[in-house]
Chain A
Amino acid sequence: MSTPQDRLYFVADFNVDLLARQLSNTTRPGIETAIAPAGPVIAALAAGPPAADWSGVVWTRPEAVSETFARARSFERVDHQRAFDEVKTYAAAVARFAARARSVFVPTWVQPPFEREWGMLDYRPDVGVAPLLARMNVALADALRDAPNVFVLDASRWLASAGARGWSQKLWYAAKCPFAPSVIELAAADIAAALDGVAGRGRRVVILDLDDVLWGGSVGEVGWSGLALGGHDHVGEAFADFQRALKALTVRGILLALVSRNDEPTALEAIDRHPEMVLRRNDFAAWRINWDDKAQNVAAVLSDLNLGAESTVFIDDSTVERARVRAAIPGILVPDWPPDPARYREALASLRCFDSPFQTQEDRARTGMRSQERSRRSALAEADNLDDWLRSLEIAVTVDALAPANLDRAAQLFNKTNQMNLSTRRLSAGELTAWAAAPEHCVLTFRVRDRFGDYGLTGIVGLELGAARARLVDFLLSCRVMGRHVEEAMLHVAAAHARAHHASTLVAELVPTARNTPCLEFFVRSGMRAASEHVFEWDLSQPYDCPASVAVVDHARVVTSIEP
């Protein structure tokens, strides 16, 4: 997962060298790191990161940021509001730093776990240190709410997980780092997960085995009524709880799928009828339940979902099956899996591969969308040919300019779309907003729906409108709607915009990657003139026709709004 473009700049008021070393040598080998010169954190924040493509880690001790908090630790009576004002000043400096960085991660403030402060009085409002610190952390997160590329990470969890030796006074006295390597390791893992999330490298689907993964026992042998699942039994409870954790993942937009060696009707009957099943048939985007090779079945599921191995986690209780899938499908994440179901939920949480910088409407609706997709596929099976099927879908595309309401989803598409992506520019929400603000730039979003349901915002066009030539800088479309003539509808809209700006030629230059061959194939068959292997042109004296099977909605409104 390491990518050479990951660069991390550390700003801290303690010796953060161990964290930088952990990240660059173990957690993310190859990542480039740099540490701000020793000195006040505020000065380092004001100086900014080395360049705009660096991300930052800003980690401070609360007593160094808030003089009021330092006094509170000495049991002085303090005005808490004054501490919150100090937090706001600090947060403003972090936000200004973040405006010059790709993304910034800010661990929450923590106290040494051995400190009892006021003891039994410590949680009395306006007295204790611990509640003041908790409110300072909330104030920090609130103050950074409007900085879209700043992410506050929960450092208290690292300390709690590391145990009593996570905080090292000795390391603090000897090396000016209060955190033991066990905490540093956890911090590095969370920061790496956040980097993956920002870069769109989060996993998007979990493919699961059934027997002894979602339930205890073999359904083929004991029948659905004999499975260990839920009920007044600690093993059954563990499986039900694991299912709840998986169900929660679907709310975050992670898809679930099944690959199981079983008789399909028997397995589906258990899913449909077992009263303690948390996950039901509609929670799974795809499945292969048969006696074929598991690696082939995993590949078939990924083909169904139009997703790659790099997007996928495979969970199986069998070491043999895990080894087989790991060897056959490079890039897939196949975690070692604990034998005890009581550890399943913890094992899932420890994967740290589902981080995303956004939570969009499309994420929340994703599993429902896959259910709609199964209905479409059923209709396709009954259609005489592909064109009839596409016409029967009644696809409608709504065009909107980039706006605050669709910014998160647009940035998400920029960072997750691989196959139908002309230039594969990875832009944060801030970078995208800045690019779109230039007068010669225009970013259009495409929302797609059909008679089966709403696909959500799935397409983006970025245009650079020159005097004679309009350049298609970005052209990206979610894999869920590829091949349904939405691509041609997007080109139709892009050409209309370019014509409205009196450009004579629309130019698209593809930047080839290992994943965007489908995009190249589309442009080859698009009707545009191939000026070279990767450059395509359209003479704007002619409109680019919209396909008959796609209706473009509200296009005129958007065109009118950008008329020069």
Chain B
Amino acid sequence: MDEEAARRLVYDAIDIVNQQLPTAKRLSKAPDTVIVGSGGALDSLGVVNFVIAVEDKVAEATGAAVQLLDEHILVEGSPFHTVGSLARYIAARPA
């Protein structure tokens, strides 16, 4: 999967989690949108919901189950920091 396709999947997941957020706090569909870390709008339930939504979208697109939700999501330098870093991470995963 190329990075652009991965980014579209992340945007689909953003559509899902945005329904749970007040209008003012909704995530914008842009590569530099912060998901996890300083400046992120999601609380812990929101992060879990988002990551599982991304997993589902990747599985739908590739037909293969992926495991993204783990304890490293919240650490410094996590690929979940921004939309762009997450898209690169998904694209770089072996098919």
Contact = CB atoms under 8 A, between A and B. Distances in A.
B78 interface: no
B45 A15 contact: yes
A175 B52 CA distance: 11
B20 A25 contact: yes
Contacts of A18: 20, 45, 49
Given A165-B56, A170-B55, A170-B69, A175 B19 contact: no
A21 interface: yes
Contacts of A26: 19-20
B21 interface: yes
Interface in A163-192: 165, 168, 170-171, 174-175, 180-181, 185
A22 interface: yes
A96 B23 CA distance: 37
Contact of B23 (A21, A29, A168): A29
Interface in B4-53: 16-17, 19-23, 45, 48-49, 52-53
Interface residues of B, number: 15
A310 interface: no
A181 B20 contact: yes
Given A17-B45, A180-B56, 14 more contacts: A15-B45, A18-B49, A25-B19, A25-B20, A25-B22, A165-B56, A170-B52, A170-B69, A171-B48, A171-B49, A175-B49, A181-B17, A181-B19, A181-B49
B20 A171 contact: no
A35 to B, nearest CB: 12
Contacts of B52: 168, 170-171, 174, 180
Q: Give the interface SS of chain B, mostly helix, strand, loop or mixed.
A: helix
Contacts of A17: 45
Interface centre among A21, A25, A181 (most CB of B within 10 A): A181
A412 B48 CA distance: 43
Given A165-B56, A181-B53, A174 B48 contact: yes
> On chain A, which size bracket covers the interface?
10 to 19
A388 to B, nearest CB: 58
B48 A25 contact: no
A25 B23 CA distance: 7
A185 B49 CA distance: 13
A22 B20 contact: yes
Contacts of B17: 181
A308 to B, nearest CB: 28
Nearest to B60: A165
A421 to B, nearest CB: 34
Contacts of A22: 19-20
A25 B49 CA distance: 16
Contacts of B22: 25
B45 to A, nearest CB: 6
25 contacts: A15-B45, A17-B45, A18-B20, A18-B49, A21-B21, A25-B19, A25-B20, A26-B19, A26-B20, A29-B23, A165-B56, A170-B52, A170-B69, A171-B49, A171-B52, A174-B52, A174-B69, A175-B45, A180-B56, A181-B16, A181-B17, A181-B19, A181-B20, A181-B49, A181-B53
B31 to A, nearest CB: 23
B25 to A, nearest CB: 9
A180 B17 CA distance: 11
Contacts of A180: 52, 56
B58 to A, nearest CB: 12
Contacts of B23: 25, 29
A288 to B, nearest CB: 39
B45 A25 contact: no
Which 6 pairs between the two chains have the least Cβ-Cβ distance? A21-B20, A26-B19, A175-B48, A174-B48, A181-B16, A25-B22
Which of A15, A171, A185 has the most chain B CB atoms inside 10 A of its CB? A171
Nearest to B19: A26
